[in-house]
Amino acid sequence: MARRRWVIVWLLAGFVVGMVVLLGGYAFDLPVHPWIVCAAILAGQLMSALAQLSLVRDVRAAKGRLCSRCCYDLTGLPDSGSCPECGTSYDPDTLKRYWGSMAAKRPRGEQSSPPRSIP
């Protein structure tokens, strides 16, 4: 869960910085160019996307065997038990439900769902 929070943190940070620049510029009667606000917001979104990609990469490398609370790699540990890092209990069904499709790597070009037939 800690790694998932970073995705939200970076997204909100970009928005907050953009709004501070925008409102601070108007409050102090400074010239604020819209592209500066957009750049701050987009930087936050970019960092959020990079954090999400990093999390997806780690989940796939561990084949979905990461602790759902602290993202500790559970590879090599028993199928069921408790995380040695944070003590959260885990089992294969819980991990599969939590990480879902993030652990399943699809080949490039393969669609996530089969195409519908057109009558």
Q: pLDDT digits over 3-19, tens only?
A: 666 677 777 777 787 77
Reported as a pLDDT band with limits 50, 70 and 90, residue 52 is confident
Q: Which strand (E) or helix (H) includes residue 82?
A: strand 81-82
Q: Are 92 and 103 in contact (CB under 8 A)?
A: no
Domain residue limits, the chain: 1-61, 65-100
pTM above 0.85, yes or no: no
CB atoms within 10 A of CB 74: 21
On the CB side of 39, CA atoms within 13 Å amount to 6
